[in-house]
């Protein structure tokens, strides 16, 4: 049996600076043993522990789609000790990845449903994995209408700019990209906060329409009443939590909230489930 605490050795294959302030970078890792790459089989919405010897381990959502084979990607905000160290690393450097961990989005329940995806800031990473997966020709027929509301502070802070432009051009996904504000005269998308744009563009709520919401607490706080107003049932609103966690496998209790262990029972929950536990997120 594989030791759940043992990371897979990986090499940094590519580093993409995503934002103009360089605070967000996407790291593409390849597994040093290709067999580990096959063992690391994830579903969109899961996370992994990135492990840097001598520095520590941090939970990060998996930004690559399960349909992208041979590598795994993470988009990391430079916030403290471990993330700063990672940002200073270079192509060819080695480290470890432990996972995949957590439950991921409930794809069986979402089969055949319409999806409203609402994302803000760097919480868009697992949503990118989800969109990429759903838009693959072999998967697109498994879902109904797809609407995406994605916002960042300014155009330069948007992630995955080339893919956003590509998805904009498609007619099987409705993209509603927004920024809090900009003085760029060429900006051709929305201006305004994510909850406002959600209210303006969201498809009507019915039993076959689910919302997946990932973003900073303030975005979630103001998006929830909008979804309530639009009539989305709390069973059909899906969220991913980012509580502090350590082991990632439900053993240490570090991420306990109410009766749930966020790393093991989550990080993905419906709003109906979250209503029953303390709002510590």
Ligand X SMILES: Cc1cc2nc3c(=O)[nH]c(=O)nc-3n(C[C@H](O)[C@H](O)[C@H](O)COP(=O)(O)OP(=O)(O)OC[C@H]3O[C@@H](n4cnc5c(N)ncnc54)[C@H](O)[C@@H]3O)c2cc1C
For residue 242, state whether it binds ligand X (rule: CB under 6 A). Answer: yes
Concatenated DSSP letters for 200-221? HHPPPP-TTEEEEEES-HHHHH
Spatial CB neighbours of 107, under 8 Å, sequence gap ≥ 6: 43, 44
Residue 37 or 59: the one with the smaller Cβ distance to ligand X is 59
C-alpha span between 9 and 27 (Å, rounded): 15
For residue 121, state whether it binds ligand X (rule: CB under 6 A). Answer: no
Residue 19 or 114: the one with the smaller Cβ distance to ligand X is 19
Q: Give the count of beta carbons closer than 10 Å to the beta carbon of residue 266.
A: 25
- Residue 203 has what DSSP assignment? P
Q: Which two tokens stand for residue 48?
A: 């992994």
Q: Which of residues 123-152 bind ligand X (CB under 6 A)?
A: 125
Q: Which member of 7, 59, 100, 120 binds ligand X (CB under 6 A)? A: 59
Q: Are 270 and 238 in contact (CB under 8 A)?
A: yes
C-alpha span between 252 and 221 (Å, rounded): 29
Sheet of 114-120: strands edge to edge?
190-191, 174-179, 146-152, 114-120, 209-214, 237-240, 268-270
Q: Which member of 61, 100, 120, 121 binds ligand X (CB under 6 A)? A: 61
Q: Are 251 and 272 in contact (CB under 8 A)?
A: no
For residue 80, state whether it binds ligand X (rule: CB under 6 A). Answer: yes
Q: Which member of 77, 107, 189, 222 binds ligand X (CB under 6 A)? A: 77
Q: Give the count of beta carbons closer than 10 Å to the beta carbon of residue 5.
A: 13
For strands 114-120 and 209-214, give the pairing. parallel
For residue 47, state whether it binds ligand X (rule: CB under 6 A). Answer: yes
Q: Which residue is nearest to ligand X (CB)?
A: 80
Residue 77 or 222: the one with the smaller Cβ distance to ligand X is 77
For residue 159, state whether it binds ligand X (rule: CB under 6 A). Answer: no
Q: Which member of 82, 131, 133, 271 binds ligand X (CB under 6 A)? A: 82
Instruction: Specify the stretch interacting with ligand X by CB under 6 A; choose among 72-80, 138-146, 150-158, 223-231.
Output: 72-80
- Report in angstroms how near the CB of residue 83 gets to ligand X at its nearest: 3
| Phi and psi, residue 87, nearest 5° | -65, -25
- Report in angstroms how near the CB of residue 221 gets to ligand X at its nearest: 15
Q: Which member of 7, 37, 195, 267 binds ligand X (CB under 6 A)? A: 267
Q: Which residues bind ligand X (CB under 6 A)?
A: 47, 58-61, 75-77, 79-84, 122, 125, 242-245, 267
């Amino acid at each position: 049996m594989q030791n759940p605490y043992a990371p897979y050795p990986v090499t940094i294959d590519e580093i993409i600076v995503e934002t103009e302030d360089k605070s967000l970078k996407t790291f593409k890792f390849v597994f040093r043993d290709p067999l580990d790459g096959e063992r690391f089989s994830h579903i969109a919405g899961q996370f992994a522990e990135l492990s840097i010897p001598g520095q520590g381990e941090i939970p990060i959502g998996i930004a690559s789609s399960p349909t992208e084979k041979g590598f795994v990607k993470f988009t990391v905000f430079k916030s403290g000790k471990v993330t700063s160290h990672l940002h200073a690393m270079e192509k060819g450097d080695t480290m470890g990845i432990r996972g995949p961990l957590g439950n991921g989005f409930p794809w069986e329940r979402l089969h055949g449903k319409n999806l409203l995806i609402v994302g803000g800031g760097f919480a868009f990473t697992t949503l990118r994995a989800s969109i990429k997966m759903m838009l693959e020709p072999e998967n697109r027929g498994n879902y109904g209408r797809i609407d995406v509301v994605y916002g960042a502070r300014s155009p330069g802070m948007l992630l995955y700019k080339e893919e956003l432009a590509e998805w904009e051009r498609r007619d099987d996904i409705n993209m509603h990209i927004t920024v809090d504000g900009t003085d760029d005269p060429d900006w051709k998308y929305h201006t305004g906060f994510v909850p406002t744009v959600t209210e303006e563009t969201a498809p009507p709520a019915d039993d076959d329409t689910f919302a997946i919401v990932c973003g900073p607490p303030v975005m979630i706080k103001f998006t929830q009443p909008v979804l309530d107003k639009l009539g989305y049932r709390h069973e059909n609103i899906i969220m991913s939590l980012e509580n502090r966690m350590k082991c990632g496998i439900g053993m240490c209790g570090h991420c306990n909230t109410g009766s749930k262990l966020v790393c093991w029972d989550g990080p993905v929950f419906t709003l109906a489930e979250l209503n029953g536990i303390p709002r510590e997120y």
